[in-house]
Amino acid sequence: MSKEVCIRVENVSKSFGKKQVIQDVTFEIYKGEIFGMLGPSGAGKTTIVKMMAGIDEASKGTIFVFDTKMPHLQMMKRIGFMAQSDALYNDLTALENLQFFAMIYGLKGSKQKKRIEEVAELVNLTNDLKKPVHAYSGGMKRRLSLAVALLHNPDLLILDEPTVGIDPVLRQAIWEELRRIQEKGTTIVVTTHVMDEAEKCQRLAMIRDGRLIAVGSPEDLKKETHSQTLEEAFLYFGGARA
Ligand SMILES: Nc1ncnc2c1ncn2[C@@H]1O[C@H](COP(=O)(O)OP(=O)(O)OP(=O)(O)O)[C@@H](O)[C@H]1O
């Protein structure tokens, strides 16, 4: 794997009104890796990935994606973002949803058709495209959201809790898909509060109370803290900083 930088988070803080929720966070994500953002609910994972995706702006500090300061409209076209709640049109079929978002990305005609077929195949929804989304299960909606995020072939894919509410079998299928996408050279950022998912990432950032408490590969983070599990390592780093 190359060590070229995809995302550089530099001294980033974020406040909502008087409440500071991200405190001077600095780390890098390399091109082509699956990078995890691990932390409990409310730690600040969503806030950080939204700033990476250019949906929100840092109050202090800077985020660079492919050396471009975010937010940046052109760069956002190279990013696929899957939010925590599915932003789908329930009354439309899955195919119509994909066609709608493809149009927004400027994909038309035979190119659009081909790309929709590809992403549907990738998330295993080829045979369910004609169903209205309101007839979809939660897991199918997540997979359709992933397909939407992949439509424009992004160089960077940012997924906010992609497998929440998804059963273990589907969760495994999604991870297999992510690895396939990674093999094509895409950098993937995934937020999670689940330790076994964090284990699947090449490297991860541990976030607690808006602070970066550790960053490294799951192996290194465990070794460094003489821990058997990532959970133990997380508690160690959290406690060491408290
Ligand atoms: N728009 C907002 N206005 C005010 N506070 C906010 C806003 N968005 C997030 N926060 C606060 O920022 C903190 C971090 O929230 P964030 O959603 O980033 O955490 P998270 O780690 O992604 O949690 P979860 O796993 O539950 O999604 C929380 O205290 C949250 O209440």
How many angstroms separate the CA atoms of 140 and 195, rounded?
Answer: 23
Pocket residue to mutate for ligand 1, from 9, 19, 47, 212, most atoms within 8 A of Cβ:
47
Which residue lies with its CA nearest to atom 31 of ligand 1? Answer: 42
Model ipTM value: 0.95
Which residue lies with its CA nearest to atom 2 of ligand 1? Answer: 16
Position with higher pLDDT, 122 vs 215 = 215
Is the Cβ atom of 194 under 6 angstroms away from ligand 1? no
| DSSP-derived pairing of the beta strands 5-16 and 19-30 | antiparallel
Is the Cβ atom of 40 under 6 angstroms away from ligand 1? no
Task: Give Cα 74 to chain centroid, integer Å.
Answer: 19
pLDDT, tens only, 45-84: 999 999 999 999 999 999 999 999 999 988 988 999 998 8
Atom of ligand 1 lying closest to residue 37 CA: 21
Which residue lies with its CA nearest to atom 8 of ligand 1? Answer: 47
Which residue lies with its CA nearest to atom 28 of ligand 1? Answer: 42
Is the Cβ atom of 222 under 6 angstroms away from ligand 1? no
* Angle, CA 14 vertex, CA 12 and CA 20 arms, to 5°: 125
Domain 1-78+156-164+185-242, what fold? Rossmann fold (3.40.50)
Query: pTM score, two decimals?
Result: 0.91
Split at pLDDT 50, 70, 90, the class of 2 is low
pLDDT at 76: 87
pLDDT at 38: 96
Element (H, E) at 238: helix 230-241
Is the Cβ atom of 59 under 6 angstroms away from ligand 1? no
* Coil/strand/helix, residue 107: coil
Is the Cβ atom of 47 under 6 angstroms away from ligand 1? yes
Which residue lies with its CA nearest to atom 11 of ligand 1? Answer: 21
C-alpha R_g of the chain: 18
Domain ranges of the chain: 1-78+156-164+185-242, 84-153
Least confident of 16-20, 98-102, 105-109: 105-109
pLDDT at 242: 43
Which residue lies with its CA nearest to atom 25 of ligand 1? Answer: 41
Least confident of 58-72, 138-152, 163-177, 220-234: 163-177
Least confident of 15-19, 138-142, 218-222: 138-142
Pocket residue to mutate for ligand 1, from 9, 20, 21, 197, most atoms within 8 A of Cβ:
21
Mean of pLDDT values over 151-180: 87
Helical spans, DSSP H, in 44-167: 45-53, 73-76, 94-104, 109-122, 138-150
From residue 124, alpha-carbon distances to 142, 158, 206 in Å are 12, 20, 31
pLDDT at 241: 45
Mean pLDDT across the chain: 92
DSSP state of 44: S
From residue 133, alpha-carbon distances to 104, 141, 142, 159, 238 in Å are 19, 7, 11, 20, 41
Atom of ligand 1 lying closest to residue 207 CA: 21
Q: Residue 166: is its pLDDT beyond 80?
A: no
